[in-house]
Amino acid sequence: MTITVRLLLFSSLFLLPVSVFAQTNGSIAVGASLTATAGNSSPWFSPSGDFAFGFLPLGNNDLFLLSIWYAKIPDRTIVWYANRDNKPALAPKGSTVNLANSGLELTSPQGEELWKSETIVGVVANGVMNNTGNFVLQDGKSGNIWETFNNPTDTMLPGQKIERSGKLSSRYSETDYSKGRFQLLLQEDGKLVLSTINLPTEFANEPYYATDTTSGTVAGSEGKELVFNVSGYLYVLRDNGGKYNLAGEEVVSERDNYIRATLNFDGIFAQYYHPKNFTGNVSWTLLWSEPDDICRRITEDSGFGICGYNSICKLNADNRPTCQCPRGFSLLDPKEPFGSCKPDFIQGCEEDELSTTKDPYDVIVMTNIDWPISDYAEFRPFTAEKCNESCFQDCLCAVAVFRNETCWKKKLPLSNGRVDVSLNSKAFFKVRKDNTTLQFSPMSNPDDKKKKKSSNTLIPVESVILATSIFVSFMLSGAVCLGFFFVFRKKQVRSIKNILDSNLYSFSYRELQEATNGFTEELGRGAFGVVYKGTIQIGSGIQVAVKKLNCVIQDGEKEFKTELRVIGKTHHKNLVCLVGYCDEGQHRLLVYEFLSNGTLAGFLFADTKPSWTQRIEIACGVAKGLLYLHEECSTQVIHCDIKPQNILLDDYYTARISDFGLAKLLMLNQSHTHTAIRGTKGYVAPEWFRNMPITAKVDVYSFGVVLLEIICCRRSVDVENSCEERAILTDWVYDCYREGILDVVLDYEVEALDDRKKLVMIGIWCIQEDPSLRPTMRKVVQMLEGVVEVHVPPCPSPYTRTG
Ligand SMILES: *[C@@H]1O[C@H](CO)[C@@H](O)[C@H](O)[C@H]1NC(C)=O
Ligand SMILES: *[C@@H]1O[C@H](CO)[C@@H](O)[C@H](O)[C@H]1NC(C)=O
Ligand SMILES: *[C@@H]1O[C@H](CO)[C@@H](O)[C@H](O)[C@H]1NC(C)=O
Ligand SMILES: *[C@@H]1O[C@H](CO)[C@@H](O)[C@H](O)[C@H]1NC(C)=O
Ligand SMILES: *[C@@H]1O[C@H](CO)[C@@H](O)[C@H](O)[C@H]1NC(C)=O
Ligand SMILES: *[C@@H]1O[C@H](CO)[C@@H](O)[C@H](O)[C@H]1NC(C)=O
Ligand SMILES: *[C@@H]1O[C@H](CO)[C@@H](O)[C@H](O)[C@H]1NC(C)=O
Ligand SMILES: *[C@@H]1O[C@H](CO)[C@@H](O)[C@H](O)[C@H]1NC(C)=O
């Protein structure tokens, strides 16, 4: 779980020993004080020793947070902290907190007051660090005059209540404890809402989550308070005594677990528990969280959205959001990944007019992305082409979104951007050419650079800062790889030497060893070698997949480089981008961009079937990638090993073919006869076994098999789970097709049955044993797109089958 990982990371920031707890009754006398120093100042513990109040060192030993934390667990999870209206909330080393008659006072080493407990009525007699995690100031007579439970930050604990107009507010980021962009509020009308606020004010945008606890039709049903009762139940208590449970029926024992509810910095309100009695590195477990789909919880006046302006929100598998800038945009503040994105170019009617190029913009197509509330014009009925054209011609238009025969034109700044696979939409995004060319291609003017550096072999790049590297996986035509090393800035970060003229970077073996942490995290294994995950330390680090090649048969460095040049020059949205390589002694490694959503195999053969539209998109993507390799590259590339394990999915589930070019790299003379069979059982074309010439048609065959797998969501060979007649998918599908019982193969998914039948026919055309009968990939793409008609296919294997 990501949460676990985060917390583990987090705990390493704290340097105090786990517990230096001496028996106490929790009472602190007026006049007592604590000083922020590493190590030698014991905090104030609760009698049970579960909670501590004091200074926690954060990050390094020079900054401290005045806070309350769980003292017995190494995570040092903070449940309350002071000074969050200042940025930073941290106090420098040597700061002190005093318990005075007037309350708590946090003072800097220079004697400046940083924070004090709010104005209180009465005179403090003593403080108590309670076993519940509540730090209380008492007047010695009538009771509590100030408590942290009544002045909460981002966390609630069992025993704590929030009255109407009471709030929690998130911290700014994972490590920045100043006030953040999200708040939880029990409104005067009784609704409990989550909303973004417009800092530095607390003006709230429309909620992205709200409970149904207003008076409505039943008098007295409005929420009175948010209660976290001591048994660990969190509910809104209504005026009439009714309860609105936030967690449903789920509950864990309060006796055996620490329980807390926290409004996270990314806007998710969640309840967690942690066993009290544990051994080893146990961490917090999520019990529930709200809302369940934060990126899509958008209403009209939600302000910037979950992410900043122009950014795009995407839900991770753990239900937590991440934010990314579109291409051509970068973070306004690189230290704030959830913040706004700024365009790296200037768009405007005057600028467009002055532009030296006739069409100053490139159009990037993004699927299933929308900014729902930045429209200024809407057209219906319309076509996608007209939508693109209309935005392209319009100097006010930044992006046009097309869906269901409707076209929306949108202007900057875009807000509430999110990924939503249910949309089935296309966004046509305008990015200025002059600027992008400048930034995208490190090689745009190699001659100039060579002259300046007067060096004939090395081109030291001053620095490479990668903005939004992940985002690259996102897109689109052409310049994908060029975009990988994205923005060049003055600050020296790291120099990369020796760039081939195809934008590939040459890494030393040591660099890759460091990047992969000594080749530890294995992503996968294939015929060509093992793939490891790594991070290259440029900017904030780029994730890459490093492939260690088994044995390179191509002899000589020159041939290796020649082949790499071919691979390096391929740029297509359906191909995985090669970033660089290492060719050092025995070591031959390839460095690819890392794609987050794994392989098509994992996607297709999972427990739940992906949607039909998504599957068709993937099939078309693979076909287009292959068409490009076969016909549109400067040198034809035959893949030789097309299979679902070699097709990766990026953040947006766009199919990306990997391992192309390797067959050639690892084998001479592939286009004639051969000795070893390349490829994988179940996917290889029959000509491999028949001493026939190997042509691009071998890929068409493998594509046909993969297409049938995509249609049926099952593996091409499945002996274990199928009876004999169904074990070989290609045979079974053809039999069912011939007998007119395709719905059996399709698992009785009748939606778009005609569509499916057409795809099955295309698949059968591709798996013809006779290579000359198979269509070219161009024809396949045309058939998939419905541009040409699909005829009735013949029996794919007339030689080996009867019938
Ligand atoms: C707690 O202990 C302190 C001394 O450590 C003592 O002065 C104080 O009276 C005690 N308070 C209570 C409530 O027992
Ligand atoms: C902690 O708070 C509870 C509930 O308010 C109270 O019963 C208990 O006495 C307090 N403990 C101490 C040590 O003050
Ligand atoms: C806490 O709330 C739950 C659910 O409403 C209830 O069953 C339980 O008795 C409450 N516990 C206490 C100590 O009030
Ligand atoms: C803590 O766990 C250990 C092992 O599970 C058990 O032996 C021990 O009795 C537990 N202690 C408490 C206080 O529950
Ligand atoms: C606990 O930590 C060790 C070493 O840091 C690690 O190998 C192990 O996977 C961790 N266990 C859990 C459950 O996180
Ligand atoms: C983009 O181009 C405009 C003019 O075409 C220029 O003023 C601006 O500085 C450029 N932006 C960047 C980031 O290079
Ligand atoms: C969008 O329109 C522009 C201008 O006509 C054209 O160059 C571009 O190829 C179009 N893009 C798509 C995806 O239709
Ligand atoms: C498409 O738009 C039409 C016209 O507004 C509407 O009736 C229909 O429900 C929409 N279909 C989808 C799938 O959104």
Q: How far apart are CA 267 and CA 748, in angstroms?
A: 41
Buried b vs exposed e over 64-90: b needs ≥16 C-beta within 10 Å? Answer: bbbbbbbbbbbbbbbbbbbbbeeebbb
Q: Is the CATH number 3.40.50.300 carried by domain 497-593? A: no
Region 224-245: what's the mean pLDDT? Answer: 93
Residues 6+ apart with CB under 8 A from 205: 195, 196, 197, 198, 301, 302, 303
Residue 783 dihedral angles phi and psi, to the nearest 5°: -65, -45
Query: Ligand 5 pocket, 281 CB below 6 A?
Result: yes
Q: How far apart are CA 649 and CA 667, in angstroms?
A: 27
Burial of 475 from C-beta contacts in 10 A (0-12 / 13-18 / 19+): buried
Q: Is the peptide bond before 152 cis (omega within 30 degrees of 0)?
A: no
- In the chain, what percentage of residues exceed pLDDT 90? 40
Q: What is the CATH number of domain 300-432?
A: 3.50.4.10
Residue 629 dihedral angles phi and psi, to the nearest 5°: -65, -40
Residue spans per domain, the chain: 21-151, 153-291, 300-432, 497-593, 600-784
Instruction: Report the residue among 5, 11, 279, 281 best suited for mutation to probe ligand 5: largest number of ligand atoms under 8 A from its CB.
Output: 281
pLDDT tier at 446, thresholds 50, 70, 90: very low
Name which residue sits closest to atom 5 of ligand 5, judged by CA.
281
Query: Ligand 3 pocket, 229 CB below 6 A?
Result: yes
Asked whether the predicted pLDDT for residue 746 surpasses 50, the reply is yes
Q: Which atom of ligand 5 is nearest to the CA of 280?
A: 1
pLDDT for 491 equals 29
Place of tokens 């966390």: 155
pLDDT by residue (tens digit) across 185-197? 999 999 999 999 9
Q: Which residues pair with 184 in a beta bridge?
A: 168, 194
Name which residue sits closest to atom 2 of ligand 7, judged by CA.
389
Please say if 583 is a catalytic residue. Answer: no
Q: How far apart are CA 684 and CA 192, in angstroms?
A: 59
Instruction: Report the residue among 332, 341, 346 best suited for mutation to probe ligand 6: largest number of ligand atoms under 8 A from its CB.
Output: 346
Asked whether the predicted pLDDT for residue 669 surpasses 70, the reply is no
Q: Which of 362, 641, 650, 659 is catalytic?
A: 641
Name the closest ligand to CA 392: 7
Query: Ligand 3 pocket, 230 CB below 6 A?
Result: yes
For residue 406 the two structure tokens come to 């409707």
Query: Ligand 1 pocket, 25 CB below 6 A?
Result: yes
What residue numbers does the annotated binding site for ATP cover? 548
Q: How far apart are CA 200 and CA 641, in angstroms?
A: 56
The sheet that has 161-163: what strands, in order across it? 161-163, 223-228, 234-238, 243-245
Lowest-pLDDT range of 32-46, 139-153, 482-496: 482-496
Question: What is residue 573's three-state secondary structure?
Answer: coil
- For residue 637, which amino acid is it? V
Name the closest ligand to CA 159: 2
Instruction: Report the residue among 23, 27, 141, 144 best suited for mutation to probe ligand 1: largest number of ligand atoms under 8 A from its CB.
Output: 27
pLDDT for 543 equals 86
Asked whether the predicted pLDDT for residue 147 surpasses 90, the reply is yes
Given the candidates 3.40.630.150, 2.102.10.10, 2.70.98.40, 2.90.10.10, the CATH classification of the domain at 21-151 is 2.90.10.10
Q: Which atom of ligand 6 is nearest to the CA of 344?
A: 13
Name which residue sits closest to atom 4 of ligand 6, judged by CA.
346
pLDDT for 144 equals 87
What residue numbers does the annotated binding site cover? 548
Name which residue sits closest to atom 13 of ligand 6, judged by CA.
344
CA 598-602-604 angle, to 5 degrees, is 120
Q: Which atom of ligand 6 is nearest to the CA of 355?
A: 5
Asked whether the predicted pLDDT for residue 26 surpasses 90, the reply is no
Q: Which atom of ligand 7 is nearest to the CA of 389?
A: 2
Query: Ligand 1 pocket, 27 CB below 6 A?
Result: yes
| Dist. CA 229 → ligand 1 center (Å) | 28
Fold entry, domain 153-291? Agglutinin, subunit A (2.90.10)
pLDDT tier at 300, thresholds 50, 70, 90: low
Instruction: Report the residue among 227, 233, 235, 254 best suited for mutation to probe ligand 3: largest number of ligand atoms under 8 A from its CB.
Output: 233
Q: What is the CATH number of domain 600-784?
A: 1.10.510.10
Query: Ligand 5 pocket, 198 CB below 6 A?
Result: no
The neighbour count for residue 724, using CB atoms within 10 Å, is 8
pLDDT for 12 equals 36
Of residues 141 and 528, more confidence is placed in 141
pLDDT for 349 equals 79
Name the closest ligand to CA 358: 7
Q: How far apart are CA 116 and CA 137, in angstroms?
A: 13
Give the DSSP letter of residue 611: P
Asked if domains 21-151 and 153-291 share a fold, the reply is yes
> What does each C-alpha distance from 82 to 40, 56, 112, 318 come to in angstroms?
21, 12, 15, 30
Region 441-450: what's the mean pLDDT? Answer: 31
Residue 138 dihedral angles phi and psi, to the nearest 5°: -115, 150
Q: Which atom of ligand 3 is nearest to the CA of 235?
A: 5
Name which residue sits closest to atom 11 of ligand 6, judged by CA.
345
| Dist. CA 196 → ligand 1 center (Å) | 44
Query: Ligand 2 pocket, 128 CB below 6 A?
Result: yes
